Amino acid sequence: MGKDRDDICLWSDRQILGGLELLRATCFEFR
């Protein structure tokens, strides 16, 4: 699904929580 820039975010923790959208949102804020 694009684990290139999502590496900086909590891909594992966020993904498990159950929300790819949340993960992406956190990634954007992190930048």
pLDDT tens per residue across span 12-22: 555 555 666 66
* Contact present, 26 and 10 (Cβ < 8 Å): yes
Contact status, residue 27 vs residue 20, Cβ threshold 8 Å: no
Number of domains composing the chain: 1
Q: Is the pLDDT of residue 23 over 60?
A: yes
Residue-number span of the structural domain to which 23 is assigned: 1-31
pLDDT of residue 15: 53
Other Cβ atoms closer than 10 A to 8: 11
